[in-house]
Chains A and B, each alone.
Chain A
Amino acid sequence: MSGARRAITLAAGLAGLAAVPLLAAALNQPFYVDLFRRILIFAIAAVSLDLILGYGGMVSFGHAVYLGVGGYAVGVLAHHGVDNGFAQWGLAVGASAAVALVIGTVAIRTSGVYFIMITLAFAQMLYYLGISIEEYGGDDGMRLLARSQFPGLVDLKNPTVFYYLVLGILALFLLAGHRILEARFGMVIRAARSNEARARAVGFAPYRYKLAAFVIAGAMCGLAGALLVNQTEYLTPDFMHWTRSGEIMFMVILGGMGTLVGPVLGAVVLLLLEDVLSGWTAHWQIILGPFLVLVVLFARRGLIGLLGWESQRG
């Protein structure tokens, strides 16, 4: 696909997503605003995972932990009476970056299955921490009494405003991700994924670049966590359950690893299918499972590859 066609496809996709609230209003189906907002929040999480998975070769199997950290940052502050959105979301991003720094410092010294296991272990640790804190609802979780407050700026109680805010954040992250990956910084982590021994031999010390990318991805996903708890208005440790991490990873692989828009497509398709199929039958996973297997087997470059969208070289 040429650059111009890619730009047109991307613009069409974003325009389609921007039209969702209008179509939902026309069809008198406000529920779709809610559904697509949830999809876009997961798309943000999937894009952040793809930064390190698709471009950095870091198979983080605990990425949902940042959804949890971001969610808890908002929920806990709200619980203690701080409802200012800047404080809540700032803490969500900062705490997620800090957690990513700790996990990454350990995990990036390893590779392959050890990397997967360490990221999973940290995520499970925080999951059980969430379960054990009774003050914040423990296993059951707790209600978010009010969505984050941005007085005079945006009102998240308005479903359409909230939707466009999420879409705007996603678009911003796609742009920022693109710039980062094409800049010198991105070239280092992509080179290290391609051939780490070669990268070291030409003079790169990949560790700190990979760690920085890991922290950036964690911070981005932390913001998705802050959005998610505002979406559900309910905080539970399930945000960071390992099956959630697997789901995010699946969005990336389904849509197309190593492309930034692939994970967005993956999130849309996976969550829409889940929604449609679960409305049809209680055993929807029996249909979804084989579909996912077929995509992985026959569309190696993901759904975006079927559209003729190549992953960026390197």
Chain B
Amino acid sequence: MAEPLLRVRGLTKRFGGLTATSAVDLDVLEGETHALIGPNGAGKTTLINQLGGDLRPDGGAVRFAGADVTQLGAPGRSLRGLARSFQITSVFRDFTALDNVALAVQAHAGHSFRFWRAARRDPALLGPARATLEAVALGDRAGVLAGTLAHGEQRQLEIAMVLATRPRMLLLDEPMAGMGADESQRMIRFLGSLKGRLTILLVEHDMDAVFALADRISVMVYGRVIATGSPAEIREHPEVRQAYLGEDTGA
């Protein structure tokens, strides 16, 4: 069997006495949408931060696309095609929506030690940036300052920035957080449209979204991955039902 696109082995992170990530093993296969669920405080975001390169693990290894990326920082991982969104919306608030996406394009268009030509009139950046904004249905908001966009639009914009880096794999940390029901439905449909084209690791609390999108699901509790399987398997998994879905199977 070919190596999975993302392979995590024994990943461990401690904050003082708290072990936030405890010897986590996780495989994400090329092309699958893999959901990561678990109660609050289970360590999902801490895990995502280590996968994205924002946080150094205390132990273990992360392999992406056949290479060890454990020591690589966030920019290096982005350049290799591992792109992330943040749980709390993270955009360049005082730049326009178009600028935001153009910056993501620029980051992947070679070095930026270019001192003379105006970046905002560079078709090599604007073309892909506009196309990506259109793809997330923000085309008519291109000239609006990102900080003044509605919350749902900012989440869409962040997805556009992630896509503009032309990644192989997305790390999405609760992309539907704080969205209304309609916006969530649209986002679920949009993420569904990416299925198969991109590998996705999705942290999400909305179980409807998880069961609608995921090919496989991993469950985290107290810093450990306690189960991985198909949605049907996870639904029936006794430990999962007890630990996460809050059901007392013994009753």
Contact = CB atoms under 8 A, between A and B. Distances in A.
Given A184-B114, A197-B54, A203 B94 contact: no
Contacts of B74: 197, 200-201
A314 B92 contact: yes
**Does more than half of chain A's interface fall in helix, strand or loop, or is it mixed?**
helix
A187 B90 contact: no
A209 B92 contact: no
B75 A183 contact: no
Interface string A170-210: 00000000011011111110110011011111111100010
Nearest to A195: B92
Contact of B115 (A180, A195, A205, A314): A180
Interface residues of B, number: 38
Nearest to A180: B115
Contacts of B76: 205
B113 interface: yes
B15 interface: no
Contacts of B78: 200-203
B86 A184 contact: no
Contacts of B73: 200, 205
Contacts of A201: 52, 54, 74, 78, 83-84, 86, 90
Interface string B37-66: 000000000000000101000000000000
B6 interface: no
Contacts of B122: 184
A183 B116 contact: yes
A179 B115 contact: yes
A269 interface: no
A197 to B, nearest CB: 6
A194 B73 CA distance: 20
B107 A183 contact: no
B112 A187 contact: yes
Contacts of A190: 95
B2 interface: no
Contacts of B90: 195, 197-198, 201
B11 interface: no
Contacts of B118: 179, 182-183
Given A202-B103, A202-B104, A185 B92 contact: no
A140 B197 CA distance: 72
Nearest to B81: A203
A202 B166 CA distance: 10
Interface of B: 52, 54, 73-76, 78-79, 83-84, 86, 90-96, 99, 103-104, 106-108, 112-120, 122, 145, 161, 164-165
